[in-house]
Structure 1
Amino acid sequence: MTQKTTIWTRHLELTEPEESVLVKMALHYVRTTDCNDVAKNDLDSLVEKICEPTPFDYSVEEK
């Protein structure tokens, strides 16, 4: 019998200003930190997600 693997995915709702801060934090971290303490693939994936979003990453709400 094959054992199933559980993968947890976290979804965060961010405002544009919050997203801007997150991008600045990530870029600062990449530029100034020795990234040996994190998995390179995970760091690259995260930076790509927050620095290169697609239109489908957003929902629109009119108030």
Structure 2
Amino acid sequence: MLESLYLNLGQHDALSDEEKALLTSTLSIEKYFGVGEDIVVEGSRPTYSTLIIDGLAARYKVLE
């Protein structure tokens, strides 16, 4: 699951097994989103951080 993150970070500096284990232990919930599904809804106040492992995300605002 985190291999792409390890590869990305590894391009900048070597990651030890201990550091990889620490990253893995910090994940609390694994959640998948479909195409067009909102990760954070406008007006909400999340109390957590989100790490996107694979795919793309964009910020948008609906104008009325």
Task: Judge same fold: TM > 0.5, yes or no.
Answer: no
The TM-score, its normalising length taken from structure 2, stands at 0.29
Q: TM-score, normalised by structure 1?
A: 0.29
